[in-house]
Amino acid sequence: MNRQQHPIIAKEGWPFLWLAAMVAGLTSVYSGYLAIPLWLIFIFVLQFFRDPPRVTIEGDSSVSAPADGRVIVIDEAEDPYTKQSCLKISIFMNVFNVHSNRMPVSGIVDVKHYYPGSFFNAALDKASDSNERNALLLTTKHGHRVTCVQIAGLIARRILCYVEEGSQVYKGERFGFIRFGSRVDLYLPKATKALVGLGDKVVGGETLVAELPTP
């Protein structure tokens, strides 16, 4: 097993935390109890940007969840980025989930492509094609092609991705962040076996969501 260490609070959240704390603190000094709603906002922001360490189960054939959340799609589909028939697994993150994104497999980043778009509810099917998104096309050591797509949601307005084309990546490592509600789509080889069911709750970097076909 590989334990992925990260700060307990995601670095992406510090500007929001400082702002929320400053506003709540100043209001406490000058307005007393009127600051209570602002401290509740601070607590919400604090829990949103939490980023606990995760233990990833190693193995070249298993696929780990790229995000915390609920499985909303398990279906055969065409990968819109590679134009190949595949198994699609989608995970929806609400505002109470951890929003760090983690690599589902180890391999090489062949393509990284950002697509501007709309901000529909990320739980809707059309979000995969219409919303702002960032796609990573990965190739594993056994030649499996896996596409991992970060998708912005109704409230999310910023997709962050920290890997580049040609990078060697490892399953479970943190590669990005989406702020305030979003979705991640996985497109896997057609013969892949799903290890989760619709409605299942998964933990990014820990839950195994699929088993790639034997090479």
Active site residues: 182
Residue 93 and residue 18: Cα distance in Å, rounded?
24
Q: For the chain, give me the number of helices (H) and strands (E)?
A: 3, 16
The alpha helices in 121-178, defined as continuous H runs, are 127-130
Neighbours of 4 (CB within 10 A): 20
Contact of 88 with 148, CB cutoff 8 Å: no
Q: Which residue has the tokens 């915390």?
A: 68
Residue 132 and residue 154: Cα distance in Å, rounded?
10
| Cα–Cα separations (whole angstroms), residue 191 to 81, 86, 194 | 18, 8, 10
- What does residue 69 show for φ and ψ, rounded to 5 degrees? 145, -155
Which of the 8 DSSP states describes residue 118? Answer: B
